[in-house]
Structure 1
Amino acid sequence: MLPSFDNLTESQLEANVSLFRAAGFSDPEAAVRAMMRITSLWRDAFEQKSESKTDPAEEPPWYWSLQRVCLEAPLKDFVLNVVDQYVRNAHEQFDVFALINSTPRALGILARLACASPFLTQTLLADPPCLTTLALHGRTSEMKSREQFAQEATNAMTASGRKRPQMLSELRRFQRREVLRIGMCDAFGLLDLRFVTLQLSLLADAMVECCLDLALTEAKVADLPLAVISLGKHGGEELNYSSDIDLVLICDQDSAVVQRVARLTIDGLAEDMPPGFLYRVDLRLRPWGEAGPLVNTISGYADYLIQDAATWEKQAMLKARVVAGDMRVGKKFLKRIRPLLFTDSAVDIRRSIQQMKERIEFRLRQRGKLNSEVKLGVGSIRDVEFLVQSLQLIHGELEPRVLNSNTLDSLVRLAEFGLISAEWYRHLRAGYVFLRTVEHSLQLLHNQQTHELPVDERQREWLAHRMDYPDAATLMRRFDEHRHAVRSIFDECLQFESTTLHSVAAAESMIAQAPATMLDTVLSWHALQERQLRLEEIFAGVDAGTEAIVSLRQIPARTDHWDLIVCGKDFSGWLSVICGLLSIYHLDIRRGDALTGEGINGFGDHCVAGRFLACFEVRLEVPATEPLSSLTFAENLATSLQEEIGRLGQQSRGSSIEDVRAELLTRFCDAVPQQSVSEPTSADVDVELIRLPDSVLTQMNITGADSWGFLYELASALSLSRFRVLRAIIDAEGSRVRDVLYVRERNGRPIESEERLQELQLAATLIKQFTHWLPTTNDPHHALARFRDLVSRLQPAVAWFDNMKSLRRPNVLHAVARVLGISQYLWEAFLQSRHQQLFPLLTNPEELAIRECRETLMLELDQACDRTYDATAAWAALNEFKDRHLFRIDMRHVLGHCRPFGAFSEELTELAELVVCRALEIAWRQLVPQYGQPLCEDGITECPWVVAGLGKFGGIEMGFASDIELMLIFAEAGRTAGADSVSNAVFFDHLVNAVASGIAAPQDGIFHVDLRMRPFGQAGSGAVSLHDFEKYYAADGPAWPYERQALVKFRCVAGNTGFRAAVTVACHRAIYGTGQFDFVAMRAMRERQIRQLVHGGAINVKLSDGGIVDCEYAVQALQMTFGDEFLTLRHPNTLRTLSEAARLSLIDPAHRQSIERAYVFLRELIDCLRMVRGNAKDLTLPTPGTRDWKMLARRLKSIHDSDVPLEELEA
């Protein structure tokens, strides 16, 4: 918090320095003095306005805005210093305080440019009136054509005088102002990279044309058959802020006049005169480079390409474009040379480009810059350009439509014609845009041609802030991600042999077919002659150092039953590992005896210390594709079991027992037949515990209904609860089991305390039963760990026995398993910390199937919050109500009760509306006693107001991790009627901020109140009058296009009923009044989102190309284009609007169906990603084929019963 306005005096210097230091200023004293200089100029200006009605002691609006801008800026000191300089430079030229008072955006522009570009900042400081144009002119981001640039430049030159030096100087000033405008639009995300570079290129076209016109005038020639051809980035209409322009001059017939005009043109561009040069001009791409003539004829250039040009010179001509001069000559030249570019073979082209790239990288490696060069290094801009150009040279002759001078446009064409895959296109485009943006940011620092990432950490931090990353580490991670993705594609594409491209779906299919399970190949058993001989060989093998030995033979007369002997080195959890692996391999234990340590089993077999011995009769539970007598079946099966038991045993002894449990549980759940857990039938068991006298062992007699993996579930539950099984006698007859286990504590002590005996009972019953339901969950390992934690938390509760009775019900266990196995967020945010209050919701799954109506919720809320007028208690009651019902709705969704699609969003949005309305009431009761009722300007009438929702809240589309975007609009200026009277703006700002702070978010993003969509964003007040609202969002108002677009989701949710209509009319007039949609600004916003938030080489379901945002923006474009004509399009919900657009024939019904299907699928996918962590931070899709990918697919099917395979995402 900074000092109040009236305390910015010399006497308060020390106190103010402390406040600035606490606010994060690195040089607080200098910052205080800068602020004092600004306020001094303000007071001087105020005193000169005798007609002003403002109290000079009252804090001016600009000071409040400046505080917000500085406190939110990453470079606070620099921003305040720039504002100080600007005010001092501007105050004698115009009323600068009137500007920043009425338009807080002006301060935002200064701050943004200060953090983005010292070069642009200096340009603005040297020409202060430019800020007025940038801040107030609603058409700042409009695209200008080459002709418009040229005409405006000519007008500026003509006004400066008729002498060449003055005209060239004015041309440079005009160019600086335009670069400033483009740079500002770039910094605020109003233009995407494609349009930034296009505007810079068209501006350069106009500058070349103006210099050529001046040269013709100087040479006293009206017309000349001379064409200026641009190559490189200028030719591709993708110019940087500080690029050279590569020019080639072509004529029909050479002459002295042509040479003179050419030289004057180049001098006009490159000559350094106040305020500098226009462009550095590179002429080395002409035939014979610097040794060749300045101007070449068409025939001479063609002869050079035929006889002497290297591949790289032909490659450079792919970007040739006529930018000035005689267009007839230029087009004739391009037509003549085009066929001459495709004379090399594909192998030669690839080899030449590879060698050229290797030479570039060799030089960079020698200078230690290979991995920091954005333009030329590994995975750099040049990789993308060379890849594109190689494919154009190889395929351009047969398919001329792939030829385009612009890299981004070329990528689109290459993808359209199948020369690169959709996956390659996405990664190359994202990488190219990212790297080019980094390059722009580097060059904007001081308008210098640099392409290397800074070594200095402070400079890297600055670069990160310029690109809207939180820190340099995040920037460098993105840099490495994109470089890796680009280079991988470059290497694959530039290899000599042809590359077969696979879609993601095809790749997944191949991955799925590659591994063959043990049961895919049916093999037979090698019988040993005598059981004792088998055991002797087995023990000898273990003694020799083998971890485990497995012997398997078919039982005579019972072809589907097998005799299995397993012996190995003892380890913790040995029984659960063996039983788990047998279940995974679909071997069901029918009877047997297993023990560890010295002893004799029921077959008379001896086991020695430090070993375990398991002798089982097992049955193969899946149908075999070949006769089981196949020779190698048993050998392979036994070998696989032996290797796995040995590996897992080593891991267990090596302190990796949790990893072993997680692997076994996940594989068990993947292998278990789904039909065995699909119905909520009872899986209960009876357990009798007998303490054996004179022994550390407790005998467990277990009977119950048999089920798939029964013994694994039991052994796993005991191991998880830190019990050690020393012997297990197994017997299964029909559908019943009768097992006897002998157990003790893991540390070797007997189980003595009643608490541990109770845990043993629970492990054998409740945890074992819970394990039975794990195959229905998404994350079995964490579900089981959370369940055990939950049970331990419930044990001390008074209602312990009632809780356990409820938990033993199969449908309750099933519900608990689904919840704990699907969402880490629901566990951490609710059950783990508030199990006593929220667990009862889970014990009544039937009640969760019913949606609570709005009236019931309102009645409960009234009872909860109206019991007290104490604000603290009221906020606590509101938040407790919110969390309980938020948890309940989430439970309903996870259990599949929120159907059809959209019902979950409706329930969450309804809850959010109730919470917001009640929060406003509580905040109102807090503020009115202090400030009084807000009144209109007449001092009598109560001032009406409304609160509107935006975003997903406004669109009735909330989901997991949705925030609540709000905007408060009040009727008019005025003051409150209390003794401590304040303006309505201040009162309503306090009101809406009290709501934002009063509604507690249980986790980042979840029901968090977001006020950033208000006019002027963070620099503006939290509440706005209707007049200011209309003025801000008017067609010629200062609102950015994306802010106006956001109003499509505007929906009044609280406040004066009559005033809602007036606000809605004003909102619709701002959105739909023009009947236009700013596609340029939309593309810029999308590019910025992708650059900042999408990992290189990855898919973000929300933000990547083709993600959910593209669906939403397409619908919003329809609304803003046709909403003035068709009133029924004016609805904040995307799907409803899409249906209405189809009904109105604005889109084809088939398109509507495909868009809706894609939109619903993406929304469901986002839902399944967010429900795990409960936040909106990262919606990156897992790598196909990984465990996370498979878990996501399971969630998608389980929660939404989706009929769209995850592999179809690319489609």
Structure 2
Amino acid sequence: MQQADQCFTSVPAALHPLLERNLARVESALASMQALPEELHAQLARVLVGSDYVAEQLQRHPDWLAELISSGDLQQAYADSTYAERLQARLSTITDEKELHRQLRLFRQREMVRLIWRDLNRLTDMRGTTRELSRLADACIDRTLDWLYEQACQRWGVPHSRPDANGLRHPQRMVVLGMGKLGADELNLSSDIDLIFSFPANGETDGERKNLDNQDFFIRLGQKLIQALDNLTVDGFVFRVDMRLRPFGSAGPLACSFAAMESYYQDQGRDWERYAMIKARVVAGDKVAGAELTQLLRPFVYRKYIDFSAFESLRDMKAMINREVRRKGLDQNVKLGAGGIREVEFIAQAFQLIRGGRDAELQQRELLKILPLLPDKVGMPEEAVAELTEAYTFLRNVEHGIQAIADKQTQELPADEEGRARLAFAQGYADWNALADALDRYRATVSRHFADVIAPSEESEAQDDDLRTEWLALWQGMMDDESAQAFLAEQGYGQPQVALKALQDLKGLRTVQMLQQVALERLEAVLPALLEQAGQCDNPEVTLGRVLVLVQAVLRRSAYFVLLAENPAALKQLVRLCSASAWFAEQLSRQPVLLDELIDPRTLYSPPDLSALRTELRQQLLRIPEDDIEQLMETLRYFKHAHMLKVAASDITGVLPLMKVSDYLTWLAEAVLEAVLEIAWRNLTEKHGTPQRSPGIPCDPDFIIVGYGKVGGIELSYGSDLDLVFLHDAAANLETDGDRPIANSVFFNRLGQRIIHILNTFTPSGILYEVDMRLRPSGNSGLLVSSLSAFREYQEKDAWTWEHQALVRARVVAGSPALAERFEQERRAILSKPREVEQLRTEVAEMRAKMREHLGSKPLPEDAPSVFNLKQDRGGIVDIEFMVQYLVLRHAADLPELLRWTDNIRILDSIEAAGLLTSDEAELLREAYKAYRAAGHRLTLQNLSGVLGEEEMREYREGVAAIWQRLLGA
């Protein structure tokens, strides 16, 4: 004992009796050493004050202390594989099950002494401790399972699947899922381990005497594994095993097949099981088959849509835990009490359940990997994440300090003076009061953030209960019509009878009558706020009609009501935007999943540029297997619809001017086309190899998508189709270099077909873009994909003047940069050809006359008001476009700067700079063009055709017509 006297110097006097008791227990361990190294006196003191369990183990195994010190194990972290390797060495020569049990327990106890020593002395941080504990458990489960599986196969035969289509039977091994803290690599110092046993497929063993069903085999194997780990023997236990998280809980079979697992979770899985499955990890057995099982269960855990019902489920779970805390008096429990570990876990996992289906980065198990993602993913303040991380780390350290005392699974703070003093000392605090103050601060911080995320929102709580009651009374038919209309009038409805009928029509729908109770409660939770907000709009009845169409669209997907109830700001955005735009309301009704885009106004009203769009889309597509074309197509559509919604929101609210709206919509189309080309190219080259530019030189890809019209002119609008032409520049007489080669021309034709298929195919989310290919050489009768040389030859010899007009607005929007440059050279060469002026003027004017005759406004009855077709009537958009194209074709041979741009506004700038129009004329055409397009945008957003009253835009129309008369005659 003399060499341990120095231990007392670092310990408060009040704890000296405790230290003396435990030093007496390790006297033999100390006596076996010549001298305790100087630097270890304080460490030993902290461990013996903090852990009776360590003192007990060193008393039972006096040689361990010297061995732990001499080996250096106390001072260094283990590699992930160390536990498995060391345990395998112990078990490699064992043939007796009783000896297996003994060696497992000795191994675990020796390593627990080491881990507690390192944790209490902060030789590792909290995450280091939990990760090593998880690796220790993994090793014990996996190596024990391997040992027991071999014994079981010798006794009952090897389990095999039933014969497959080829008559083959495949050997089967167990898959062990670790749940909870084990699954998340967050195991604590005295945690039980939650396990689920499964196996790939039904079948039977190939035993010599008697065959067992696979399920029977694996149940017996699972029972053996539990006994090896859980049974309490003279040597203690390895890990307490809890199997209650398996399908059907304690009433279910101990092991079941993958198919049974999938069926259970698909048909009967409950919300708390989704919550538990977030942390599921294959910890032992067949890891390859385990990965397959994880994929099968992923759709149950992570919904493809944004699932805001998770808030409600977690709130219910927390309420249940709170009732248990009160009933059992667990206020001093650092895990379950207010502001405890569980609340931090709920915060992170709420967002995982809500958004994990759409964002694979959130599909992680460890809490401290999820928290740092929340500022970017859900807008949680960085400060909040820092506070939660610090609080969680502190609480887990305290939990370890509690459990280190006696290796008991408890999170209860000690109530006795000695217990409190030893815990405070072990955590590095001067006394209990200092530790208690820190605990109170951290728990208050967690409670505050938990309330912000999980608890009912302040805005919801602040809502006037009396007003809400009246709205619900109206909805539930408890008011007579006269009272209902009077109430609606008070709330801002100018035509209360119209609003009341709309509500009554919704209430009378069979879908509403058949709603389950939970869905009805969710509807009634959000309906009063929707009705109130609609009443505050300038067009309340119209707004209400649009909003109720959306309500009707999501009646069977009531999680969207939860989204709006949880996000009052999003609800206000929804009503505001539906009030301003019928198109916006219609898009949301068709694609309710886009409601999620309303939540964060930072992104809703801040559209990204082309580079950011490309990056965002690439990241979304990277999360999907390359061969899952259906899911890739759905992702492309969601991406497009979401960004269309954002630009419309910015357009409606005036955040973006007209030119920026068109820029953004065009960039969106370009980003999508680039991704579609990449998907189609990859898909075809995997099957046929890469086409050859010249023998031995592959294309890269020597293919371009040329955009004409609005996409070429960077002037896309909502619902615009895409005028496209596909070109390649590969050798015609070569073929692809794959195992199934095809001619280059066939490859590129199929590539074009694949691109159109991805763009045009109708999926549950609609189509991506309508595609018009009529501007390709020879139109609909021509090849789908032409070579650049064939394109040049056609343009030089066979193209009509109107096709050269179209080429003025053509530019490459996706594909090979090198080929794009060659195309631009050809375009310039074609457009720069000298032209006979009178012939050009006649052909342009005649084409315009034909278009006006077929597409312009038709004569109306005498008593009908005259109208103006923004695009096709005299003085409209097409007149401006034709004049611009005429001037480019007439003067490009002498003024190549006219060919620099493909959008009308900048071409007009070039025309003005060249003196082809006066400044007044160019300005009038620019302003008229922008005014027409802005009006077109507004009409589209109201689902109206591009027609105005005859008197509207008169000044612009007459000005455009006068310039047309000067340039092109009648």
TM-score over 0.5 for the pair: no
Higher helix residue share: 2
Q: TM-score, normalised by structure 2?
A: 0.43
Higher strand residue share: 1
